[in-house]
Structure 1
Amino acid sequence: MSEFVIHPLLDTGTISVNDVLCQGHCRHRSAEECARTTHIVFPYRGLYLRHVGSDQSVADANHVLFFNAGEGYQVSHPVDGGDSCLSLAIAPELLRELVPVELLNRPEEPTLRVQSLRIDPRAQALVALLRHSLSHGSIESMEAEGLALTLICRSLGPRTAHATGATQSRRRLVDRVKVLLANDLGRQWKLADIAAEIGGSPVYLTQAFQQVEGIPLHRYHLRLRLARALDRLAHCEDMSTLAMDLGFSSHSHFAAAFKQAYGRTPTQFRAEALSKSA
């Protein structure tokens, strides 16, 4: 069986959208790969590590990753279960127009100087809405193009993107925390439990995580759980079971957290995603 399964969802000549599923069999660094065109990639299930030289980025549902044309990279999968990503590629002239100049390697070339950026819940919701509506044929091409452009703008905008100035040692420590959380997403973690697994004190871990990610550790974990709900909603009608699977104390707790993050209840979001153009 192939390591990758690619489901084309949209290709208008200007924008292409693919749903990419990886089996995640490669625990250690893969052979070096290289993208032919620049892709903007939104992980929505699972976790993997992307390596560019000595730099490393965690790919999870709280981040967008940039696979630059002609740039070599490797991936590894420290967590079982593989991963899934929504991969967007747009015409170079549009990419140059969309990407803030401070994020470009060179103004005349549509490649980015960062591996990844953190995204907010609004961008996560757009990822799920675009994927579910295209998968179920409930959105027309022009509307999907507009939604994809909105997603890219949102992900690169100053209100949502967060680039850290933390040291490499702190970033690697926080990466280990992210891997730990992804290994048991529904667990109700305590700071002492994480500190015992990772090493260091709860205070130091809390401070390091805040510096690297710009949000508290508990909120980061909550957003991962809610992003997993976004992934599963289109195929799930039992919201109580979904809530329990993701570590929420009750359906009402889950629904309240979901609505606070995304502006509508899980049931409302599911209905919107499956009947986008209705």
Structure 2
Amino acid sequence: MTETVLHELLRTSLVDVFDLASAGGTRESVCAARTQLRFPYRGSCLRHLDGSTVVADASQVQFFNAGERGEVSHPHPDGDASLVLTVDEALLREIAPPALLHDGEPPRFREHRLGIDPRAQVLVALLRHSLHEGTADPLEAESLALTLVQRAIGPRTAHAASGSQSRQRLVDRAKRVLVGDLARRWTLAEVAAEVGVSAVYLTQSFREVEGVPLYRYQLRLRLARALDLLGEYDDLSALSHDLGFSSHSHFTAAFQQAYGRTPSEFRQSALPPKNRAGS
């Protein structure tokens, strides 16, 4: 693939939605004309801004403020992809909690990223699949997009990274390890060795920064990848194996607990039969 492919999925007076895919081993300068919300759903990328580097993956939303210059690199060999939303400025200021935004115009976020919950991950997948497959009309797609934005930045459903900068950098290194091989059944000692700290320190740091244990974060990444891949697998047992789950039943139970429906039910509701693998 070329270095970066931007595919327009929706453009209305209120919201624009794009699918952004980047090749692995690339790096580009970024300066958004309008404030963007980016939802990674495949792989991970690194954002370099103000002398810091942060990891973006499927458990968070990234904010690219209008006029803000930085760089994004794509270390994963298979590249990465994100769903990109821009929202009408007046509407975005109406939706966003005031504490999240700088004063003045255009709307610009104080945080570079926020953690999102499983429901937001489902909305990313539903919006992307329905627009790709042409099953959502503009009104439905706009409603899905704005619901996603509200949930991603809502005070009860979003999570800002906490802890010291050194602990955040450590946790970001651990995330890169996990995303680099989602199918591997890592042990805590192995991840700790990869990032060069003790298992106890890694456990404490991850929970402090992300608010969840490392194993649960890994589960969320695997399930988000499943949302992306469901249309490519006819055999869900094979999908569960490829994502490192111990069994098909374990995968199904975890998916249902996180998203409120089984993988089969999600695929039936989100993907037309003619576009599923094996159909």
Alignment partner of 1:199 is 2:196 = yes
The equivalent residue for 2:243 is: 246
Instruction: Please point out which of 98, 101, 110 is paired with 2:98.
Output: 101
Mapped to 2, the partners of 1:22 and 1:108 lie a distance apart of 30
* 2:16 maps to amino acid: S
AA in 2 matched with 1:104:
L
Aligned equivalent of 1:257? 254
The count of residues paired between Structure 1 and Structure 2 equals 272
For residue 161 of structure 1, report the CA deviation from its aligned partner.
1.2
Deviates more, 1:66-75 or 1:266-275: 266-275
On the 8 A contact 1:132/1:273 being kept in 2, the answer is yes
C-alpha distance after superposition, 1:152-190 (max 9, x if no partner): 000001222111331111111111100111111111111
Distance (whole Å) between structure 2 residues aligned to residue 126 and residue 201 of structure 1: 36
Q: Give, in angstroms, the shift of residue 55 of structure 1.
A: 2.6
Alignment equivalent of 2:207, drawn from 205, 210, 215: 210
Letter of the 1:136 partner, please give it: E
Show structure 1 runs of 5+ residues with no match. Answer: none
Partner of 1:232: 229
- 1:179 matched to 2:172? The reply is no
* Aligned pairs for 1:34-45 within 5 A: 34-45=31-42
2:45 match: 48
Q: Where do 1:108-119 residues align within 5 Å?
A: 108-119=105-116
Structure 1 counterpart of 2:119, one-letter code: R
Structure 1 distance, partners of 2:241, 2:137, is 35
Separation in 1, partners of 2:216, 2:167: 19
In 1: Cα distance, 2:24 partner to 2:14 partner = 30
The answer for the alignment partner of 2:20 in structure 1 is 20
Instruction: Report the CA distance between 1:93 and its aligned residue.
Output: 0.7
Residue 190 (structure 1) aligns with: 187
1:48 and 1:76 in contact (8 A); partners too: yes
Residue 268 of structure 2 aligns with which residue?
271
The equivalent of 2:277 in structure 1 is none
Q: Once the 2 structures are TM-superposed, how far is the Cα of residue 270 of structure 1 from its aligned partner?
A: 0.7
State the shift of 1:272 in Å.
Answer: 1.0
Say which SS state the counterpart of residue 232 (structure 1) adopts: helix
% same residue: 57
Instruction: Give, in whole Å, the separation in 1 of the partners of 2:32 and 2:101.
Output: 17
What one-letter code is carried by the residue in structure 2 that aligns with 1:5? V
Q: What is the aligned counterpart of 1:80 among 77, 84, 102?
A: 77
Render the CA deviation track for 1:185-204: whole Å, top value 9, x for unaligned: 11111101111211111111
TM normalised by structure 2 equals 0.94
Contact 1:117 1:162 in 2 (8 A): yes
CA RMSD in angstroms comes to 1.2
Q: Specify which of 62, 65, 69 is matched with residue 66 of structure 2.
A: 69
3-state SS of paired residue (1:169): helix
Q: Give, in whole Å, the separation in 2 of the partners of 1:160 and 1:49.
A: 24
- Equivalent in the alignment of 1:148: 145
Distance 2:244 2:86 in 1: 35
Give the secondary structure class of the aligned counterpart of 1:7: strand
Secondary structure in 1 matching 2:102? strand
TM superposition shift of 1:228: 0.3
Letter in 2 for 1:57: V
- Counterpart Cα distance in 2 of 1:31 and 1:221: 28
Q: CA deviation at 1:108?
A: 4.5
Q: Deviation at 1:31?
A: 5.0
Q: Which digits, 9 at most, give the CA deviation of each residue in 1:57-85, with x for residues without a partner?
A: 21100010001110001112232211010
SS in 1 for 2:107: strand
Letter in 1 for 2:244: G
Q: C-alpha separation between the residues in 1 aligned to 2:11 and 2:96?
A: 21
Deviation at 1:13, TM superposition (A): 2.3
Matched, 1:137 2:134: yes
Q: Is the contact between residue 162 and residue 168 of structure 2 (CA under 8 Å) also seen in structure 1?
A: no
4+ runs deviating over 2 angstroms: 30-33
